[in-house]
Amino acid sequence: MLFTSARIIIWLCGFLFALALVVWFVTPTPLPPASQVTPVPQPRWPQVPLPTGADPESVALRGAILNGERIYQRLCSNCHGRQGKGDNNEYMESLGHKPADHTDLGAMQRLSDAEFFLALRDGVKDQRGWFTMPPWASVLTPTEMWEVIAYVRRLPLAESPPNPVP
């Protein structure tokens, strides 16, 4: 008799423990109070002007520029910088010369679309024949390269964010 009730108690304890585990698992973690939620950060990238029209051409161009921004800020900003000035890291310092400041309208206007495209597709080599800028042909499609170009062309016209990252 004693033996059976001991068994029942052990079973009950096991059951309660399992139940507690399940309850623990399904209870969502409480959200922090609104006062502690960090606000959505302000834009820290240059805000390039976008065509605002609803006509198909503007819509397509807007999409292209935004895709260019996505690509540039992921793949190019490590070297050329978020703002496109190309002077914020040791690698660029180590070259002995500077890549173009992509926010300098005059400098960028001296670079034709074709030169820009070839620099992107084939990379840029120094006098020793070493790549200073890697080729992107195996990474980006020609369309994506033109989208990046459309974006970079607008960097000189961009508004600086209030809290820019270099």
Residues lying near ligand HEC in the complex (CB under 6 A) are found at 72, 75-76, 78-80, 95, 99-100, 111, 116, 119-120, 124, 126, 132-134, 136, 148, 152
Cβ at position 70, least distance to ligand HEC in Å: 11
Please list the alpha-helical segments (H only) found in the chain: 2-26, 56-71, 77-80, 90-94, 105-109, 113-122, 142-154
Cβ proximity to ligand HEC, 129 vs 162, nearer residue: 129
Interatomic CA distance for residues 39 and 124, integer angstroms: 41
Q: What angle do CA 45, 107, 111 make, to 5 degrees?
A: 100
Is the CB of 52 or the CB of 127 nearer to ligand HEC?
A: 127
Structure tokens belonging to residue 47: 């805000």
Q: How far is the CB of 35 from ligand HEC (least distance, A)?
A: 41
Least distance (Å) from ligand HEC to the CB of residue 61?
18
Q: How far is the CB of 120 from ligand HEC (least distance, A)?
A: 5
- The secondary element (H helix, E strand) that includes residue 124 is strand 124-125
Between helix 56-71 and helix 142-154 the angle, nearest 10°, is 90
Of 56 and 106, CB closest to ligand HEC: 106
Task: Report the residue number, 16 or 107, with the smaller CB distance to ligand HEC.
Answer: 107
